[in-house]
Amino acid sequence: MPYSEIIGEGELDEQNDTWNPIFDENATKLNTALDGVSVKLPGFIIPLDYDGTGVTAFMLVPYIGASIHVPPPPANQLVLVTTERPYESDRLFSPVTVTGMFGTASTSTQLAEIGYALSADRVMPYRG
């Protein structure tokens, strides 16, 4: 499922390094229609928690560079992913595809406010 189906249609503003959704004027409205839906979502990893050498919690972002600059993207562009099976990744912005149960869940981290959560059944390297 592409980000556009979650946060709404939009386009990348390369000059400001942000995604400009057309979902709502303030880019803060969350899509509650997908609460409890199983999704397959591509994106890039910003690791938050590790177990051994694997990532167990990460922020999934729609483009490289998201959330490491100020200001971070709005909450409706970010997904907090948790997984019981650590995903072996030692680098920032690893491209992945995540499958699991999706929903709205406001979460605050040191990096950004996050609007969505995904409990991952599967995390795999992205294959275009």
Query: pLDDT per residue over 55-96, tens digit each?
Result: 999 999 888 877 666 777 888 889 999 999 999 976 778 899
Q: Between the CA of residue 98 and those of 4, 28, 39, what are the distances in Å?
A: 16, 23, 8
**pLDDT value of residue 127:** 86
pLDDT (mean) for 4-23: 63
Handedness of CA 68, 83, 88, 7 (dihedral sign): negative
Q: Residue 27 has what pLDDT?
A: 58
- pLDDT tens, position by position, 113-128: 899 999 999 999 998 7
Structural domain tally of the chain?
A: 1
User: Which residues form the domain of 65?
Assistant: 3-125
**pTM value?**
0.78
Which pLDDT value is given to residue 65? Answer: 76
Domain of 43, CATH number, reads: 2.40.50.870
